[in-house]
Chain A
């Protein structure tokens, strides 16, 4: 068997390029919806009312997919709650879609940490599948025309500023 050490430089370059392309392809799977019409859905919220995405056409919508066991998701939910309080009067709708296997965990978290925006349950993960969620938290920004404009597949300290600037852009359109 030929070991990596005996590979020539061009062979190593080709292998590295292939690996890079594979990684980029895997990373690009999530934002495949970018520029596409946001898939419509109807889900039940933890408060008992039902929510249908298409009813918010004409407003900017933020959907975040989260899990109660995900620490980063909790930080992001707090940040989203602050931004919702600021911009809701400008025509912003926000939904948190729980992808927990056990809805009781999510319900417990929601009752312990009340948030201003609606928290929805997706026990069958149909909506998560529609939005090709493969990482938590994932946040989707939808413009007033119902088009997916931004997808965040993680949340870091620097992401808040970027998120807020892109959200403002959408609200100003």
Chain B
């Protein structure tokens, strides 16, 4: 079975778990409202058992499908206590289950990334900015081997984050082993608030193993101009 289909099936299990989680929450609310009445709490308990066993089954299926996931989620604790006194316990269990689902989802994202972009073919391009006095970034167009792979528009908030030292992953893809060329076009406002468009290129050799490249935007105080550089992280 293709990897993406497997991931899809795992996702389906996750969705099922979420749906059951919501029904559990609804059940918890139901238990709270019917707490003072003793006769109604008994069927609620039976319902909670049934739902909990369903959740367990869904998560077990997700675990089985996950196979080689890096970190298995914590085992699910089920609720068995009836009545109003155990509402808190049910709520805690719901929270634990919620956390498990979030953890499982995170692991799946990591797994998906590892499968879709294996280390042998992976190419990642990052963007960083230093100072930014002579250049206000608007967009970056990225071409690899003369093929446009991304065109990213930057919002003022994203530019602020870059200026504060943030590093953005602009592109993640796969490339064959061999020689390649990366061309980046930077658009924005240059000195004196003029429209500014510059390009930078780098020829690099992709060997076995992941390739990391960084687009660096820096100010050159002496020239009163921005400078664009592509750095190859070995």
A interface residues, Cβ below 8 angstroms from B: 42-44, 49-52, 55
Contact = CB atoms under 8 A, between A and B. Distances in A.
Contacts of B155: 42, 49-52, 55
Contacts of A43: 153
A44 B156 CA distance: 12
A42 B157 CA distance: 13
B156 A49 contact: yes
A52 B161 CA distance: 14
Contact of A52 (B138, B139, B158): B158
B154 interface: yes
Nearest to A42: B153
Contacts of A50: 138-139, 153-156
A50 B153 CA distance: 7
Q: Categorize the interface residue count of chain B.
A: under 10
B189 to A, nearest CB: 9
B132 to A, nearest CB: 16
Please provide the 6 A-B residue pairs with the shortest distance between their CB atoms, ordered closest to farther: A42-B153, A50-B153, A50-B155, A52-B155, A55-B157, A50-B154
Contacts of A52: 153, 155, 158
Nearest to B137: A50
A56 to B, nearest CB: 10
A55 B161 CA distance: 13
Interface of B: 138-139, 152-158
5 contacts: A42-B155, A44-B153, A49-B155, A50-B139, A50-B154
A50 B155 CA distance: 5
Contacts of A42: 152-153, 155
A51 B157 CA distance: 10
Q: Which of B152, B154, B155, B158 has the most CB of A within 10 A?
A: B155
A55 B159 CA distance: 13
A44 B152 CA distance: 11
A42 B156 CA distance: 12
Contacts of A44: 153
A61 to B, nearest CB: 14
Contacts of A51: 155
A50 B158 CA distance: 10
Given A50-B138, A51-B155, 17 more contacts: A42-B152, A42-B153, A42-B155, A43-B153, A44-B153, A49-B155, A49-B156, A50-B139, A50-B153, A50-B154, A50-B155, A50-B156, A52-B153, A52-B155, A52-B158, A55-B155, A55-B157
B2 to A, nearest CB: 25
Nearest to B139: A50
Nearest to A41: B153
Nearest to A54: B155
A97 to B, nearest CB: 14
B22 to A, nearest CB: 14
Select the residue from A42, A43, A44, A55 with max chain B CB neighbours within 10 A: A42
Nearest to A49: B156
B190 to A, nearest CB: 14
A51 B156 CA distance: 8
B148 to A, nearest CB: 13
A51 B158 CA distance: 10
Nearest to B189: A48
A139 B183 CA distance: 39
A50 B157 CA distance: 10
A53 to B, nearest CB: 10
A60 B139 CA distance: 27
Contacts of B154: 50
B191 to A, nearest CB: 17
A130 to B, nearest CB: 15
